[in-house]
Structure 1
Amino acid sequence: MAKRGYFYVVLSAILFGLVPLLTKYIYMSGGNAISVLFYRNLFSLIILVFLIPKKNMREAVPINKVIWIFFVSILVGMTTLLLNKSYELIPTGIATNIHFFYPIIIAIISRIFFKNRLGYKNYFSIIIIIVGLFFLMGFSKGFNLYGGILALLSAVTYGLYILLMEKKELAELNVYITTFLLAFFIVLQILLLHFSFSSINLHMELKAMLFSFLLAICSSLFGVVFLQKGILILGSTKASMLCLFEPLVSLVCGIIFLREEVKTFTIMGCIFLLFGLYLFFSDKEEADEKVPLA
Structure 2
Amino acid sequence: MQLKGYFYVILAAVLWALIGPVSRYAFEAGMPPLEVAFWRSCLAWVFFASQARALGQMRVARNDLPAVLAFGVVGIAGLFGSYAMAVRAGGAALASVLLYTAPAWVAVMSRLWLGERLSTPKIAAVVLTIVGVAGISLGPDWSGGKSFGVAAILFGLLSGITYALYYIFGKRYLGRYSTPTLFLYALPVGALVVSPFFRFEAHPWQAWVAVAVLAFVSTYLAYSIYYAGLKHLEATRASVVATLEPLVASLLAFFLWDETFTPLGYIGAALILSAVLLTVVDGARRRRIAAMPSRAGA
TM range (shorter): 0.7 to 0.9
Name 2:146's counterpart in structure 1: 142
RMSD (CA atoms): 2.3
| Distance in 2 of aligned mates of 1:222 and 1:276 | 25
Q: Distance in 2 between matches of 1:55 and 1:245?
A: 32
The TM-score, its normalising length taken from structure 1, stands at: 0.86
Deviates more, 1:99-108 or 1:133-142: 133-142
Displacement of 1:187: 2.8
Q: Deviations over 1:115-157 (max 9, x none)?
A: 4213323323333223222222322422323323322210011
- Give the alignment of 1:118-137 within 5 angstroms: 118-137=118-137
Aligned to 1:250: 249
TM-score (norm 2): 0.85
The answer for unaligned runs of 5 or more in structure 1 is: 290-294
Q: Distance in 2 between matches of 1:122 and 1:55?
A: 37
Distance in 2, Cα, partners of 1:109 & 1:130: 17
Aligned to 2:295: none
Separation in structure 1 between the aligned mates of residue 179 and residue 84 of structure 2, nearest angstrom: 27
Checking the alignment, whether the CA contact within 8 Å between 1:73 and 1:185 is kept in structure 2 is yes
CA 1:130–1:38 in 2, change beyond 3 Å: closer, same or farther? closer
Deviation at 1:47, TM superposition (A): 3.1
Deviations 1:154-173 (A, max 9, x none): 00111123212212x24541
Other-structure match for 2:187: 183
Moved more, 236-245 or 92-101: 92-101
Change (3 A) 1:185 1:141: same
Superposition deviation, residue 202 in structure 1: 2.8
Shift of 1:49: 4.6
Matches within 5 A, 1:90-239: 90-112=90-112, 114-138=114-138, 139=142, 140-145=144-149, 146-167=151-172, 169-170=173-174, 172-190=176-194, 193-194=195-196, 199-239=198-238
User: Quick one: distance in 1 between partners of 2:16 and 2:87?
Assistant: 17
Q: Is the 8 A contact 1:104 1:126 kept in 2?
A: yes
Percent identical: 20
Gaps of 5+ in 2: 291-298
Query: Which residue is 1:270 aligned to?
Result: 269
Say whether the 8 Å CA contact 2:128–2:272 is kept in structure 1: yes
Q: Paired residues, what number?
A: 280
